[in-house]
Amino acid sequence: MQPFIPDRAFFEPRALDYPIGRDIYRRLQDLGVEIRYTTSHNRVTGIPGDDDLQRYRNAKRTLVVGVRRSLEFDTSRPSAEYAIPIATGCIGHCHYCYLQTTLGARPYVRVYVNIPEILERAHGYIDERRPRITRFEAACTSDPLSLEHLTGNLRRLIEFMGQEEYGRLRFVTKYDLVDSLLDARHNGHTRIRFSVNSDYVVRNFEANTASLEERLAAARRVAEAGYPLGFIIAPIYLYEGWREEYEEMVRRVSRAMPPDRRQGVTFELIQHRFTRPAKRVIEKRYPKTKLDLDESRRKYKWGRYGIGKLFARTWRAIGSCPGPWRIFGPSPFGASLSPRSKSGSGGKPLAKFRGCRLVFLDQIDPKTAETRAVKKWYHEP
Ligand code: SF4
């Protein structure tokens, strides 16, 4: 995929006190990007557009370079102990993305330049928990790989974590610009996970992201560079023909991975869900979306903050589905993408990933022993 070049950038003047801020400034200048200033990365005004929709689209093409003020990290369960903040906002246009609602009226793309302070804080968190391992998720509020060619911040995190005996980094991406990370001194402490999905989902709901083939080619390069690797299949979305297309997608993942790099690959699965506030935002921002937001076909569950989520009945569909699809089950964890035939005896496998680990994230229930088992492997490096 072509690297992202913003239409305009805003700098907090203080960002230029940092070498990383000055580097980004020079890079944007060389690219001919229009540069303006803002007093705060939290209050950017002047993004053009005649209406809300146009302003939203322009905001996604606006880079804001600032200094992260709060150095208290949010938690990021179950994926990691902490979310490490290096960027907020994303250039992608995934219709189902939770950033639609969590970022509210500030969908522009923010990157932070005080990385040494952020890493110092991360070191403090690692120290507090030592000798236990502390994991940091770098993609909670953004897809930082899509910005790496402008900031270089992921590489800084990877090399920092490579030197931390008790620190681990993980991030997930729908992009493919991994080349600048391949020779980073990661020391096996960073797990890079690629978000993959069926053709239909990528085509209809994931605009301005890398194609599945590009993501898989990047996954292969990352695996060959010795990084721990994972795939996130999310959201699993039901539509006419979903089983065949998801099966084909699993085959493509399998074909893309060199056999000697399949050990220890993780798979995380999340079904599609939405909240009612998210539905309102999606319908406004993507008025022609094909995303099925029909509440009558969903199961309602109470979520955090008193906001209910509407789930597809995916797991039941998967669990009852005969044939190769059962590579994903029936156990919510401890299963592997191992051969399983339509008849249950022999047959050509869809994918072979020995020693891989698999979790249905939606089935994590904090009260159960199963959850503890899931966490145990999930939290390995
Ligand atoms: S790439 Fe990820 S973070 Fe970006 S819009 Fe899509 S789902 Fe959201």
For residue 345, pLDDT over 60 is answered with no
H/E element, 269:
strand 266-271
Instruction: Estimate to the nearest angstrom the gap between the alpha carbon of 305 and the chain centroid.
Output: 22
For tokens 């797990």, name the residue: 191
Q: What is the mean pLDDT of the chain?
A: 82
In the reported structure, the alpha carbon of residue 242 is separated from the centroid of ligand 1 by a whole-number distance in angstroms of 21
Q: Is the peptide bond before 332 cis (omega within 30 degrees of 0)?
A: no
For residue 168, pLDDT over 60 is answered with yes
What is the phi/psi pair of residue 26, to 5°? -65, -40
| 68 CB near ligand 1 (under 6 Å) | no
Asked whether 1 and 176 are in contact (CB, 8 A), the reply is: yes
Asked whether 113 and 17 are in contact (CB, 8 A), the reply is: no
What is the token pair recorded at 109?
A: 């793309």
pTM: 0.85
In the reported structure, the alpha carbon of residue 97 is separated from the centroid of ligand 1 by a whole-number distance in angstroms of 6
Which residue's CA is the nearest one to ligand 1's atom 6?
94
Per-residue pLDDT tens for 171-191? 999 999 999 999 999 999 999
In the reported structure, the alpha carbon of residue 17 is separated from the centroid of ligand 1 by a whole-number distance in angstroms of 30
Please check whether the domain covering 1-200 is classified as CATH 3.40.50.12110: yes
In the reported structure, the alpha carbon of residue 143 is separated from the centroid of ligand 1 by a whole-number distance in angstroms of 6
H/E element, 134:
strand 134-137
Confidence of residue 197 (pLDDT cuts 50, 70, 90): very high
For range 334-341, the mean pLDDT? 34
Percent of the chain with pLDDT over 90: 59
For range 71-99, the mean pLDDT? 93
For residue 296, pLDDT over 90 is answered with no
Asked whether 67 and 113 are in contact (CB, 8 A), the reply is: yes
Which atom of ligand 1 lies closest to the CA of 172?
2
Confidence of residue 308 (pLDDT cuts 50, 70, 90): low
Give the residue, 372 or 337, on which the prediction is more confident.
372
CA angle 51, 55, 58 (to 5 degrees): 145
For tokens 């995916």, name the residue: 314
For tokens 């979306």, name the residue: 289
| 1 CB near ligand 1 (under 6 Å) | no
Choose one of 1, 97, 148, 176 to mutate for the ligand 1 pocket test, by most ligand atoms within 8 angstroms of C-beta: 97
Per-residue pLDDT tens for 205-226? 999 999 999 999 999 999 999 9
Which atom of ligand 1 lies closest to the CA of 142?
3
Q: Give the separation between CA 20 and CA 32, rounded to whole angstroms.
A: 18
Per-domain residue ranges of the chain: 1-200
For residue 368, pLDDT over 70 is answered with no
